[in-house]
Structure 1
Amino acid sequence: MFRRDLIVASLATAALGSLAYAEDKKVTLLNTADKWDKTFPQSDKVECVKVSFKNRYGVPLVGDLYIPKSNKTQLPAVAVSGPFGAVKEQASGRYAQRLAENGFITLAFDPSFTGESGGEARAVASPDINTEDFSAAVDYLSTRKDVDPNKIGILGVCGFGGFALNAAANDPRIKATVTSTMYDMARVLSKGYFDSMTVEDRQQLREALNKQRTKDALTGTPERAGGLPDKLNGDEPLFVKQYWEYYKQSRGYHPRSLNSNEGWTKTSQLSFMNMPILAYSDEIRSPVMMMHGEKAHSLYFSQDAFKKLTGDNKELVIVSGANHVDLYDNDKFIPWQKIVDFYKKNL
């Protein structure tokens, strides 16, 4: 039984992990080719280096920078993050490395308060700060000599697809945006799946979450939501089983991933209760391509968000036969060539 007040745990969950972030802005920490810690194979076509930079709130963010080995000039760049509760060593790194193989400089980064990035308290999500994290990645990329500052795009997976749209609406430096298997986290966390929560449901949820705040204040330690179970009992919803097959198995497990371990803090949901993130998505003037699986439980998020987009340079790609998690790592379903062609055309 998945309680509404723990919906965060059904969506995303992980251990705190190490805090190996750099305090200095733009510092290369190590060449990750020496110690590959990703959930996907390393490419011999790109160089991967770990970098650190700060967002507008002073939170040190850590990312993996993927650079084509054949690079000898300024290149277009793409910043990548997501899914919600994942780390850069999972799906976002896979996307970043694949794009780098196709001639882009890419940055897969851990959002504030998660993975190797800094910020206290840990395992906290914020619609404002996580949107800012994308713009901070654009800050970093635009200052690199090997990046063309007028050709920077972003890519958001799952919950960070929603943050990517929010960033694109607010940051004209973002010249092209791709979302993959997008979640509108503000919508689902304030209204439930398919907007099933009533006003009374929301009031009860607010009461429960704020009681948790009092408890956390008394103990001095924010309580974690718990996340996905170590074992399934068989009667979970299909989408939870699909998340489990990715985050809890060797396919996608990572020790720093919230979704693979202890989950978000229980009160993370509060930030999303009355702060919709797609309010101004109809003002995005740059190109947008949204991708979603035909069989994904979350398809309606992309369908509804796409309807709100304006202009003629917007595209919704429905991937036949794919579920939500297939677009994390399944090369059979991820439309790689469409993504590459979109960025080459628009950056």
Structure 2
Amino acid sequence: MPLREQVNFASDAAKLTGHLFLPDTSGTDDAVPVSGVVVAGTWTSVKEQMADRYAEQLARRGFAALSFDFTGYGESAGEPRDFESPELKIQDLQAAADFLTGHPAVSDSRLGALGVCAGAMYVSAFATEDSRVRSLALVAPWLHDRRICEENYGGLEGIEAKKTAAAEARRRYEETGEVAYVPVVSGSDPDAAMPFDIDFYLNPERGGIPQWPNRFAVMAWTGWLEYDAVAIAPRVTAPVLLVHSEDAAIPDGARRFHDNLAGPKHFLWTEGIQFDFYDQSPQVDFAADAAAEHFARTL
């Protein structure tokens, strides 16, 4: 069984809390530093929903893997709470890499990153800014640009409505300190970030856990909708593995991202809907096996 320890480290914005998963090396003579992988989950998520699962699976396969709560989420400090900021999450990933590569059980020269869903956007951007990242694995990646946002958020009219709401929420926050929230997931609230009944997020046996408050800061819409992940691809030179399904979220974005990558790349297509890749077999096992093989070759 992998070893898990709760850890704390500082980012520029806040003290962060994570779980470090280490391979069980009991019975071996010499402790040789192993490759490290920073794991990022979906937007709005806490580490217990899917990042922990992938980090543990990687540790079972011989890697040191760090999952953590981003600034303002879960057990990590930071205000405002549950505020989705691509730029802030990329800064947090750099702090996580600093911690992981400084750990005595981890090689400081063999660092990879794995991103699930929107985490794929964040680790890809992180890799363009930090040369320590030698390999990427993107699982069921959500990689959007303006066109994809228009297709998924009600066209130009829908996007402008969300950005107007975000501007008003930002004004209110700056004047009063109050954060306007909508649900992340709700089939009954049309203003929810994902206005659908999604079993993974609503089922307490899956992702509907107490650590996750199911709330989205409205003022985050602007940063999310204006972020262009597809444009990142030409600057990514590290080897990239993508694991996706035609029945998962926005495969067209993943295809265009893959086509524009500057470095070595490999695309594995499998079956399953988006949320299967968060906690279900065989999707998680398939993705973890593929990521471990990829990291073993490229780190």
**TM-score above 0.5, yes or no:** yes
What SS is found at the alignment partner of 2:93?
helix
1:205 paired with 2:162, answer yes
Question: Could you tell me how far 1:281 is from its partner in structure 2?
Answer: 2.4
| Change in 2 beyond 3 A, CA 1:239/1:205 | closer
Partner of 1:283: 235
1:89 paired with 2:57, answer no
1:54 paired with 2:13, answer no
How far apart, in 1, do the equivalents of 2:116 and 2:290 lie?
16
Question: Could you tell me how far 1:187 is from its partner in structure 2?
Answer: 4.4
Partner of 2:246: 294
Q: Which moved more, 1:137-146 or 1:202-211?
A: 202-211
Aligned residue runs from structure 1 range 34-113, under 5 A: 45-55=1-11, 57-70=12-25, 72-113=31-72
What is the CA deviation profile of residues 222-263 of structure 1, one whole-angstrom value per residue up to 9, with x for unaligned ones? Answer: 01112323x779xx9x9934xx21111112222122xxx331
One-letter identity of the residue aligned with 2:183: G
How far apart, in 1, do the equivalents of 2:208 and 2:161 lie?
34
Q: Which moved more, 1:112-121 or 1:334-343?
A: 334-343
Question: Could you tell me how far 1:339 is from its partner in structure 2?
Answer: 1.5
Question: Could you tell me how far 1:344 is from its partner in structure 2?
Answer: 0.7
| Change in 2 beyond 3 A, CA 1:298/1:275 | closer
One-letter identity of the residue aligned with 1:227: V
Q: Which moved more, 1:265-274 or 1:81-90?
A: 265-274
Check whether the contact 2:137–2:240 (CA below 8 A) recurs between aligned residues.
Answer: yes
Partner of 1:329: 279
How far apart, in 2, do the equivalents of 1:187 and 1:256 lie?
32
Partner of 1:193: 151
How far apart, in 1, do the equivalents of 2:146 and 2:268 lie?
21
Check whether the contact 1:127–1:275 (CA below 8 A) recurs between aligned residues.
Answer: yes
Partner of 1:20: none
Q: Which moved more, 1:217-226 or 1:93-102?
A: 217-226
How far apart, in 1, do the equivalents of 2:268 and 2:177 lie?
46
One-letter identity of the residue aligned with 2:282: K
1:179 paired with 2:138, answer yes
What SS is found at the alignment partner of 2:164?
helix
Check whether the contact 1:131–1:163 (CA below 8 A) recurs between aligned residues.
Answer: yes
Question: Could you tell me how far 1:202 is from its partner in structure 2?
Answer: 3.9
How far apart, in 2, do the equivalents of 1:105 and 1:239 lie?
36
| Change in 2 beyond 3 A, CA 1:285/1:227 | closer
What is the CA deviation profile of residues 253-279 of structure 1, one whole-angstrom value per residue up to 9, with x for unaligned ones? Answer: 22122xxx3311111112234343443
Question: Could you tell me how far 1:291 is from its partner in structure 2?
Answer: 1.1
Higher relative contact order (CA 8 A, sep 6+): 1
How far apart, in 2, do the equivalents of 1:277 and 1:245 lie?
27
One-letter identity of the residue aligned with 1:138: A
Identity in percent? 24
Partner of 1:341: 293
How far apart, in 1, do the equivalents of 2:223 and 2:293 lie?
36
Q: Which moved more, 1:297-306 or 1:61-70?
A: 297-306
Partner of 2:104: 145
Aligned residue runs from structure 1 range 155-304, under 5 A: 155-184=114-143, 187=146, 191-194=149-152, 197-198=155-156, 201-229=158-186, 240-241=196-197, 244-249=198-203, 250-257=205-212, 261-304=213-256
What is the CA deviation profile of residues 64-113 of structure 1, one whole-angstrom value per residue up to 9, with x for unaligned ones? Answer: 00111216221101110111111111211000001101111110111111
Question: Could you tell me how far 1:204 is from its partner in structure 2?
Answer: 3.8
How far apart, in 1, do the equivalents of 2:231 and 2:249 lie?
23
Question: Could you tell me how far 1:54 is from its partner in structure 2?
Answer: 1.2
TM-score by length of 2: 0.88
What is the CA deviation profile of residues 143-178 of structure 1, one whole-angstrom value per residue up to 9, with x for unaligned ones? Answer: 111111111101011111111111111111001111
When the two chains are superposed, the root-mean-square deviation of aligned CA atoms in Å is 2.5
What SS is found at the alignment partner of 1:315?
strand
Check whether the contact 1:166–1:278 (CA below 8 A) recurs between aligned residues.
Answer: no
